[in-house]
Structure 1
Amino acid sequence: DVRAINMVAQMDKEGFGACTNTGACEAVCPKEISITNIARLNGDYIVAGLTADKNYK
């Protein structure tokens, strides 16, 4: 999903992210994003990377 790729790219650009599924990110997240949503983003990002159109920029 292009949305997941764009979200991770924006997080990298702004200098935060790289959240894992260990729960540490959830504990310190200023926006109180749950581990469930962090895990969903990570999963969507992996699937998007594997299935994305290689011509997408």
Structure 2
Amino acid sequence: GCGACVAACKNGSAMLFVSAKVSQLALLPQGRPEAARRAKAMVSKMDELGFGNCTNTGACEVECPKNISISNIARLNREFLKAKFQD
């Protein structure tokens, strides 16, 4: 991505990139076999590196030149919770 969302985010949130990637792959059939492992690994790495969580101000959505919705962060949370319950 271009990073406009991360620049606008008061948290400098990696959650924006992670959620976009997890959402994209969750919607594709070829992304399903590794969906649980991917969601857990990406969230774990994001936490390890100390990035902030989304505070839902929506600044990223306003700045995005491709109009990517903040709802992708909700999809990330959904995919992550599904992965956690599969353990």
TM-score, with length taken from structure 1 = 0.62
**Structure 1 vs Structure 2 CA RMSD:** 2.3
> Structure 1 runs of 4+ off > 6 angstroms?
none
CA–CA distance in structure 2, aligned partners of residues 7 and 17 of structure 1:
14
Aligned counterpart, 1:43: 78
TM-score, with length taken from structure 2 = 0.44
Structure 1 residues 46 and 17: alpha-carbon distance in aligned structure 2, compared to 1, 3 A threshold: farther
Select the structure of larger CA radius of gyration: 2
SS at match of 2:81: helix
Counting only pairs closer than 5 Å after superposition, residues 1-57 of structure 1 correspond to structure 2 as 1-19=36-54, 23-24=56-57, 26-27=58-59, 34-52=69-87
Structure 1 residues 48 and 34: alpha-carbon distance in aligned structure 2, compared to 1, 3 A threshold: same
Stretches of structure 2 lacking an aligned partner (at least 5 in a row): 1-35
Identity %: 48
CA–CA distance in structure 2, aligned partners of residues 2 and 17 of structure 1:
21
Greater Cα offset, 35-44 or 9-18: 9-18
